[in-house]
Amino acid sequence: MTVLFDWSKVPLELGLVTLAFTLCSIIGLERQFQHKAAGVRAHSLVGLGSCVFTLISVHGFIGLAEYQVTRDPSRISAQIVSGIGFLGAGLIFVNRDVVRGLTTAASIWLAAAIGMACGSGLIPLAVFATALHFVAVFIVVPLGRLLPVSGDRSTLLITYEDGRGALRDILAHANSLGCETTLVNTKQHAIGGRQFVRAWMRFRSGPALPVVMTQLSEAEGVVSIDRFNRDDDEL
C-alpha cells in the first residue's frame, strides 16, 4: 500500500514555505517603502502561494503511481507563471503614454519565481535572486540615471508657484526653444500657506535637455526643475 503522506518531510516543507514567505516579504518591504501599489502583503502571499503550489506539484500526487497514472510535476508550476502574468498586468497602468507599475509588476513576477525555487528546494537560487533584486533597484537604477536621456523622451518635474501664470510662461519658453511639449500630470500641494504645483512635462525635439532646464528656470514663479527618472514607475 502506498503511503500518501510522509510526516518525515513536514519539517523540510514547512521550512521551505517559511523561507519563501520571508524572502518575498523582504522584497515587499522595499516596494512598500517606495510607496508602490503592491507591498509586503502582496509579495509575501505571491511567494507563499507559489511555493505551496510547487510543493503540491512535486509531492502531492505521488500516490497516483500505483494506478499507473502519468504524473507531470511541471503542469501546476507552469500555471503559476500564467496566473502571475495576469496579476502583474493588473499593476501596470498607462497614463498619457507614461507607463506606471512596471517595476512592481516585475517584482511580483520575481516573488513567484523565488517561491517556486524554494518549493523546488533550490534555496541558493532563491536567496541569490532576492539579493539580485536589491542590486537592480539600488545599484543598477542609479547607474542608469547617469546615462544621457534621449531628447525625444525627456521628462522634467517642474515645481512652480500657483496663481502667477508660471505654466503659461513655461510653455512660452518651451515654444521659443522649438520644443514639442506635453503636460503629463500635475499635483498641487501647499507649503507655509502658499500653493505650489508639481508638473510632469515631456519635451520632444529642441535643444539638449540641460539647455531647456536652464531656460525654463528663468520663467516667473518656477521654484525647481528636475529630471524625472523613468525607472520610478509611478508619478
Q: What does the pLDDT profile of the chain (235 residues) look like in tens digits?
A: 455 566 677 788 889 999 999 999 999 998 888 877 778 898 999 999 999 988 888 776 666 656 665 666 677 777 888 888 777 777 766 555 555 677 888 889 999 999 999 988 899 999 999 999 999 888 887 776 566 555 445 788 888 888 778 888 888 888 888 888 888 888 888 877 788 888 888 887 777 778 788 888 888 888 888 887 654 544 4
Residue labelled with grid coordinates 518525515: 8
- Residue 2 belongs to some domain of the structure: no
Domain-ending residue, one of 87, 115, 145: 145
Which residues make Cβ contacts (< 8 Å) with residue 21, sequence separation at least 6? Answer: 44, 47, 48, 51
Q: Are residues 193 and 123 in the same domain?
A: no
| 216 and 134 within one domain | no
Q: Looking at this protein, which amino acid is placed at residue 1?
A: M
Do residue 19 and residue 133 come from a single domain?
Answer: yes
For residue 208, tell me if it sits in a domain: yes
> What is the Cα–Cα distance from 50 to 81, expressed in whole angstroms?
9
Do 114 and 22 share a structural domain? yes
- Confirm whether 34 is domain-assigned: yes
Looking at the fold, whether 131 and 183 belong to one and the same domain comes out as: no
- Which DSSP helix (H) or strand (E) runs through 154? strand 154-161
User: pTM here?
Assistant: 0.61
Q: Are residues 191 and 168 in the same domain?
A: yes
* pLDDT score of 94: 57
Residue type at position 59 = H
Q: Exposure pattern of 17-36 as b/e (b: 16+ CB <10 Å)? A: bebbbebbbbbbebbbeeeb
- pLDDT at site 35: 78
Pairing of strands 93-95, 98-100: antiparallel
Same domain for 31 and 131, yes or no, is: yes
Count the domains in the chain.
2
Range of the domain at 219: 151-227
Confidence (pLDDT) at 113: 93
Distance CA 181, CA 202 (A): 6
107 plus 202 within the same structural domain:
no
Locate 87 and state its grid cell: 496579476
Helix (H) or strand (E) run with residue 105 in it? helix 102-119
Q: What is the CA radius of gyration of the chain?
A: 25
Q: Is residue 232 part of a domain?
A: no
pLDDT (0 to 100) of residue 99: 58
Q: Which of 145, 176, 201 is at the close of a domain?
A: 145
End residue of a domain, out of 112, 145, 178: 145
Q: Residue 202: which CATH number?
A: 3.30.70.260
Residues 36 and 119 in one domain: yes
* Residue 235 falls inside a structural domain: no
Shared domain for 68 and 131, answered yes or no, is yes
Cα(154)–Cα(138) distance, integer angstroms: 22
